[in-house]
Amino acid sequence: MGKKTLNLGRSGLLFEHFNEPDHLWVDILASEKYLIYSGSRVGESKGSWLWMMDTEADLLHIRKNGIHPSLVDIFDTSQIELAQGDDWILQIHNRGGFWLFIYPYTFIEWMSGCLSLNYTVPKNDTEFGFDYITQFFYDPSVSTKDREEFEMIDLTFREDIKAVENQVGPYFPLMKSSSRLEDQCVHFGNWYKEMS
């Protein structure tokens, strides 16, 4: 078995097959010097990991009749700033944090003193079936209340899984967005087509 080549980024994250960009999200994560591991949540799904990745890129589902109606009162989608690189997308939200998706399997959420790392791991070479793990890290100064609020991520991730499991057909990349909130679905779809 060959050796893996891993790179420790300036952000403090360990990567395989990914070169950390010179970007704001790296600066922010690099400034978090006191994060301590708090715990993990694990699970599995029979759904398509590709649709799961597409869902992570899609901001249009944060609406009253979408997958996360409860988030409408928390996050103002008109204020979300979008950025992207070759194999990553960033969504900076109005609560002073961000969602970061590093293709193909890593989803990161950050708010000051709070970090979650979610890894989606396909079960096999087919599109359907995946395991996942979400790890939580906190600065000791973050209150229990703020930790509990931040860990709402686990609930929204499970809502995404439920929606993905209702999508029984194979993944097809979005060719054109109907809203800027879908622009990063197109970005992920283009990445997927290039990698296939």
Q: How many domains does the chain have?
A: 1
Q: Which residues contact 124 (CB under 8 A, 6 or more apart)?
A: none
Whether 145 is covered by a domain: the verdict is: yes
Joined tokens for residue 106: 């890593």
Is 10 contained in some domain?
A: no
Q: Do the domain assignments include residue 157?
A: yes
In a domain, 3, yes or no: no
Q: How many CA atoms lie within 13 A of 131 on its CB side?
A: 6
Cα torsion through 155, 97, 140, 145, rounded to 10: -50
Query: Residue 11 domain-assigned?
Result: no
Q: Which pLDDT band, with edges at 50, 70 and 90, does 60 fall under?
A: confident
CA–CA separation, 25 vs 31, rounded Å? 10
**Does residue 17 lie within any of the structural domains?**
no
> How confident is the model at residue 78, as a pLDDT?
80
Condensed to tens digits (0 to 9), the pLDDT of residues 151-168 reads: 987 778 888 898 899 988
| pLDDT range class, residue 28, cuts 50, 70, 90 | very high
What is the pLDDT at residue 173?
A: 94
- Find the domain containing 185 and state its range: 22-195
Residue 164 lies in a domain: yes
Is 9 within the bounds of a domain? Answer: no
Q: How does DSSP classify residue 39?
A: E
CATH number at residue 147: 3.90.380.10
